[in-house]
Structure 1
């Protein structure tokens, strides 16, 4: 194993340990020593890779959201049908870390933890990139030119976040588990729902006018 492989492994272990710890307890209840011990690493490695606890916390959030944010720079959302694929990726990512959506909500709504500005920056990046994707779909004639990007974003976020935020409640009510197969079907349905809404939005808005 090379030195690079070793350092990458330590960094990855620290990120995973931070994710586990911060999802289990509030930010101020988690110490760097606890994270280092869980990662089987020296606490000095946190300073080396991330500067401090806050730097590790922010990098943990960035690392968890990376698969979703990278999509905004790729071709997945170049067509309306790509929304289904993105929802599948979102559900899969959040299912692997079921407490993560609640952590984001706590930071944004309750200001718990230091990452509010950082998360808002990530969300703003998503908003900006999403608006660019929507503009390209409008320019190609796939969507109505009158479509409001904030309405689309609000609808998409609702379809993505709500099932994962309320997953435990939904499972109890349905008396069934929202497993991988269920989430894949949900992504397909919600993707179709969103695509149908987008394709008919121009007609609906014209009729309302």
Structure 2
């Protein structure tokens, strides 16, 4: 019996995505050239056309490559109970610690309409909204959270707790006098997760 094996990531494609992320985070979209990305990735510029079609296609795939693992959680077991929010926040903090400027890039695209990705990001966020609403319905059905929880309120609360530490990272570190390192973010994820668990819990019977 033949068992399908998952193909390993293509190293050139992976390098191009990494180089694109570094370039787009460091400069405005219109100032970043495909030649610069190819040089940083040690790849031929024709490979950008081969894998992504053009600069905009590479830009969108870079965003998808970063956000998809976070959205895929909504289809998995991590949020099968309210306690899973700590793990979800931890995953978000870990992901964005590796790319600390990424939330600012998303904010620039959505709020300032910089770069071509506004519609694409909105589509991804809407996919997350739909999946999140289904997850909330499942948690309600199994008595994990209160029936009165509004999925959109929950989503906005989560985004606020997730993005704010990364968007204001430099300010927080200056005020506290130390870095938002792995240990601090672990404690923050645990604390915020417990806030969610307490806030979502069904009311105790009188």
* 1:169 and 2:146 correspond: no
* 1:82 and 2:120 correspond: no
Structure-1 residue corresponding to 2:44:
42
Q: What secondary structure, in the 3-state scheme, does the structure 1 residue paired with 2:189 have?
A: helix
Q: What secondary structure, in the 3-state scheme, does the structure 1 residue paired with 2:114 have?
A: coil
Q: 1:144 aligns with which of 146, 151, 174?
A: 146
Structure-2 residue corresponding to 1:28:
30
Structure-1 residue corresponding to 2:3:
none
Deviates more, 1:65-74 or 1:106-115: 65-74
So what's the TM-score if we normalise by structure 1? 0.92
Structure-2 residue corresponding to 1:132:
134
Aligned length: 198
So what's the TM-score if we normalise by structure 2? 0.93
Alignment of 1:1-209 (within 5 A): 8-199=10-201
Q: By how many angstroms is 1:147 displaced?
A: 1.5
Gaps of 5+ in 1: 204-209
Q: What secondary structure, in the 3-state scheme, does the structure 1 residue paired with 2:89 have?
A: helix
Q: By how many angstroms is 1:142 displaced?
A: 1.5
CA distance in 2 between counterparts of 1:53 and 1:186 reads: 37
Gaps of 5+ in 2: 1-6
Tell me the alpha carbon deviations over residues 142-178 of structure 1, each in whole angstroms, 9 at most, x when there is no partner.
2222211111111111111111110111000111110
CA distance in 2 between counterparts of 1:38 and 1:135 reads: 45
CA distance in 1 between counterparts of 2:100 and 2:158 reads: 19
CA distance in 1 between counterparts of 2:169 and 2:92 reads: 14
Q: By how many angstroms is 1:66 displaced?
A: 2.3
CA distance in 1 between counterparts of 2:60 and 2:42 reads: 21
Q: Name the one with the larger helix percent.
A: 1
| Aligned-residue RMSD, C-alpha | 1.3
CA distance in 1 between counterparts of 2:55 and 2:43 reads: 14
Structure-2 residue corresponding to 1:206:
none
